[in-house]
Amino acid sequence: MTDIRLEKGPSGAGGIAFTKLQGNGNDFVLIDEHDRVAVADPLKPSFAVECCHRNFGIGGDGVLFLSQSDHADLRMRLFQPDGSEAEMCGNGVRCLAKYAWDSGMVGRSFDVETLAGIIPLKVRGIGGDFWARVDMGVPCFDRPGIPAVGEGEFLMEPLEGFEVSAVNTGVPHAVIFVDDLLDLPIDEVAPFIRHSPLFPEGANVNFVLVGEVFQVRTFERGVEGETLSCGTGSVASAAVARKMGMVDDEVFVETRGGPLLITFEGDEAYMDGPASTVYSGVLSDEFHWDISQEL
């Protein structure tokens, strides 16, 4: 097995600065590559695997890389704890917005390039807290766009003992309405749906308890476990409920990590939610990661 140690930089301690941020408990390590590349592209997957480890690394649901963009104000790439790269992340893009705002990189309105397209954002303060409004685009219910096997829409179909709907809100999501969330063994039942052959690229799995406030719990692809919150999953849950006539154009969502507001203007979905900085630091010389699969 081959491993690599970070080259010692001018600041000592590896020379790679990071910032830990969270949006409703969905936590990320952000690496600022706006002015220079800190981690070479071939090494980003293995870097994320070790960095996200909650015992041997910093710990997180993903690593955000912020860089310049030829098409938007900023570019975001997200590598997950299993080393895969996600197309988009609603909580992650708010965390990136928080960092960019605090750093003076952006004004109150700006665009972020992601693998899912250009994402417009607006930032504001609510009760002294940072909130961002994210234009999540038009949810895609068409099977090829999710992607899911078959043609037409994927709504309330039997799968693994549940009635499952699917939609793409930047990444593929399965949505399941349930009568009880408290006793639901999500980590046991969700993997069978997440890995179903019906989803060629896999799917995040959301369990939703409908009420005046939606309660949503999400098993995330790439994390391979439940997270405290999922922005795209909350949008997906609201979008499916709206599609089925269960809600109007404004949906309050309560995730285990906190609240989100999902609104619709025509077919366009918007997500409002908070983000905050946890701490900043510099990686130690002793931090290294395995790159045997990259060489």
Assign 241 to helix, strand or coil: helix
**How many alpha carbons fall within 13 Å on the CB side of residue 25?**
14
Assign 47 to helix, strand or coil: helix
| Tokens of residue 287, six digits | 């931090």
Residues in a beta bridge with 82: none
230 has catalytic annotation = yes
168 assigned to a ligand binding site: no
Distance CA 167, CA 173 (A): 5
Strands 250-255 and 258-265: antiparallel
Distance CA 280, CA 82 (A): 23
Query: 248 exposed, middle or buried (CB, 10 Å; 0-12, 13-18, 19+)?
Result: exposed
Query: Which residue is catalytic, options 51, 52, 89, 140?
Result: 89
232 assigned to a ligand binding site: yes
Determine contact, residues 40/6, Cβ cutoff 8 Å: no
85 assigned to a ligand binding site: no
Distance CA 88, CA 232 (A): 8
206 assigned to a ligand binding site: no
Distance CA 12, CA 134 (A): 37
Query: 15 exposed, middle or buried (CB, 10 Å; 0-12, 13-18, 19+)?
Result: middle
Distance CA 279, CA 194 (A): 32
107 assigned to a ligand binding site: no
Binding site per annotation, positions: 26, 80, 90-91, 204, 220-221, 231-232
Which residues define the annotated binding site for substrate?
26, 80, 90-91, 204, 220-221, 231-232
| Residues catalogued as catalytic | 89, 230
